[in-house]
A and B are shown apart, each in its own frame.
Chain A
Amino acid sequence: MTRRRILILSATASAINVIRSLRDSPDLQLFVADANGYAGGLYEPGLTPIVIPHTRDRDAYRASLDAIIADRNIDVLLPSSDRDVGAVVELYAAGWSPRVVAFQPSIESHQLLANKLTIAKLLMLHGLPVPRMWNNARAANYPAVVKPVSEGGGRGVSIVSDFQAAEHAIASCEVQYGPGVVLQEYIPGEVGSTYVALLLYGPHGESVAHATMRSSLTYYTWGGGGNAGYLVDEPELVELSRTIISLAGGWRGPINLEFRRHADTGKFYFIEVNCRLNGYSYLTTMNGMNFPRAMIDLLLDQHPARIGPGLKRSNFCLGFRERVVENWIACA
């Protein structure tokens, strides 16, 4: 049997889900690349780890991918982090033409969806439920949320209680993450208020599968990515997500949208889009919905197994467990 060679870009968070969902497939051989030689996914058993340049060093990054694709005879490219997705989208838009198959969403859709400010403004124009935003800290209602426009996973997010704190947080955010900061209404809600809709679009933009889930423990004490959670049935979120993606011009590949449910009104508010599998998407594989496998099948023009409603109803808890290793992965 000829094994198809899969290059997974990034070795943390959602990449872990991809690795674990695919490693038992006898027809696949996994290669995992990350700029951080200490990334946990590089040390997973049964794969070939590779350290590559950071995406910000775009020329070196591209050259490294070209070399890996050629030397390792890669068949499928799966970027799994925000930075890798963004870099690959930009490379394709600039004319990159590697001899692999990969999802190729439009750069226009990506730029719109990946920017918290532009997507929120677009949705407001269409009357979709988005937290209020302000241009001026003195005009805002408090508490409010300050966050960079292009970071995921809760990075750089702060909840501020007055305009002085907001001004300070905005200035600090710009220093740390660059220009572009969102000052937004805080949607009240305790643990369990954060919902995620995960959708999979095919190589031609067709809707293939979806799942909705809810976190019961978050990465930070105040929120952020889910460290525990379970599947839920929320068709409203699926429809809302499809509408949002349609307004942005469509998508190809996996994509997840985060919503927050208002503690008092129960209304869902759109928070952000992440143009990849969500960080805890292994929950879906635990429930018999193997999104990474479906992604491979779609790209290889194989009929993907149906991903319907979860066959099981397992919850998940993410543990950051200590693993003793023999050697460090050598740098590129």
Chain B
Amino acid sequence: MDSPADIIVCGAERQAAVSAALSRPDLHFSFLSDQAIVDGWDLPNVSIRLGKLDQLADSARAAALPCLVLCSRWLPFLEAGRPDYSLDQLLPRLATAFPDVVTPVYFSPPSDRPWILKGNRRHRPDEPVTSFNYSAVTIADPHECGSVYQPVIESRATALVMGYRDAHNCRLGIVALYQEAFAREDFLMAGESIRDPMIESVSEALVDHIEHHGYFSINWVVGRNRRSHVTSIRPVPRALFQLFRAGGIDLLSEHDKPAVLRPGLKLVVDHHYASYGP
């Protein structure tokens, strides 16, 4: 018999679902997903329900439990009146306020420089589409992410800022990404927490500026000129819950103090095999 759930996870097909469940083995997680196969059937603190997104979202709202949303597709069903986090809405506004930091996006590809195609409403899966490997006229959007184009920044490093902001404080961490796998999801494969005062302060200022409430993930690119740029901001967390926990920050619990993840915490991917299904 399943234990009563402590936390409902919407979009449990995402890598972050198991990350959250492993970070708190003392809590019971109810994984909800509209995908046919998800990871996590072998975890003793996880129960899984698969079905149609709108119906699962209805049950999540009715459950009146803390809800961890890992995929932006769920947000319109769960949070009526939520601000539009599409990149075409968000990045131009932030670029005005932070002109030297935030990289804008456009509905047409720039003609005079390399570009990368990004999902407007949510992350576009699979290998990146850039002007180096595609002609813009033939790019489809099979996952209905919306399409926007962003100038490419030649990078020497990438970092991911993840955190949680509420009315009282903001807790965040910066992870230098050493390896990612651009597949059906952008899987985090190896990384290490770092401290960077500029990235920390600007990231916090960005979420303050839009008065964001909840989890957030901000992608940073460190250019070859060593200047750092924001390339996207999404209102969902990534698979870093265990790393945060190792640094003494539990992003699944309420906390009354701001916090920044300490540097030097390291993660690699564990290719985990387990059977799926009831």
Contacts and interface: CB of A to CB of B under 8 A. Distances in A.
What does DSSP make chain A's interface, helix, strand, loop or mixed? mixed
Interface string B139-170: 01011000000000000000000000000000
Given A172-B132, A286-B275, A324 B184 contact: no
Given A322-B269, A323-B242, 18 more contacts: A20-B273, A40-B270, A168-B135, A172-B134, A176-B133, A216-B37, A220-B184, A221-B126, A283-B273, A286-B273, A316-B273, A317-B41, A318-B39, A319-B15, A319-B40, A321-B39, A321-B272, A322-B242
Interface string B206-239: 0000000000000000000000000000000001
Contacts of A318: 39, 271-273
Interface stretch (A104-112, A157-165, A245-253): A157-165
A316 B276 contact: yes
Nearest to B190: A38
Contacts of B178: 38
Interface stretch (B76-84, B100-108, B197-205, B260-268): B260-268
Interface string B241-265: 1110010000000000000000001
Contacts of B126: 220-222
Interface of A: 12-13, 16, 20, 36, 38-43, 158, 160-162, 164-165, 168-169, 172-173, 175-176, 191, 216-222, 224, 227-228, 280, 282-283, 286, 314-328
A169 B130 CA distance: 11
A56 B40 CA distance: 38
A70 to B, nearest CB: 29
Contact of A322 (B179, B181, B188, B277): B188
Given A164-B135, A317-B39, A327-B266, A322 B241 contact: yes
List of 10 A-B pairs having minimum Cβ-Cβ separation, nearest first: A319-B39, A38-B190, A172-B133, A165-B138, A317-B276, A323-B270, A319-B272, A321-B270, A168-B135, A320-B187
A223 to B, nearest CB: 10
Contact of B19 (A43, A160, A322): A322
Nearest to A155: B127
28 contacts: A12-B271, A36-B179, A38-B179, A40-B269, A40-B271, A165-B135, A172-B134, A191-B36, A217-B37, A220-B125, A280-B273, A316-B273, A316-B276, A317-B38, A319-B40, A320-B15, A321-B15, A321-B18, A321-B22, A321-B39, A322-B188, A322-B270, A323-B242, A323-B267, A323-B269, A324-B242, A324-B246, A324-B266
B275 A325 contact: no
Contacts of B18: 319, 321-322
A163 to B, nearest CB: 10
Interface residues of B, number: 50
A221 B240 contact: no
Contacts of B19: 321-322
Contacts of B41: 317
Contact of A219 (B38, B183, B242): B183
B5 interface: no
Contact of A164 (B137, B184, B267): B137
B1 interface: no
Nearest to A228: B37
Contacts of B273: 20, 280, 282-283, 286, 316-319
Contacts of B190: 38, 40
Nearest to B274: A317
Nearest to B20: A322
A251 to B, nearest CB: 26
B133 A322 contact: no
Contacts of A168: 133-135, 138
B146 to A, nearest CB: 16
A314 B275 contact: yes
B127 to A, nearest CB: 7
Given A317-B274, A322-B243, A161 B267 contact: no
Given A317-B276, A320-B181, A325 B267 contact: yes
Contacts of A161: 138, 140
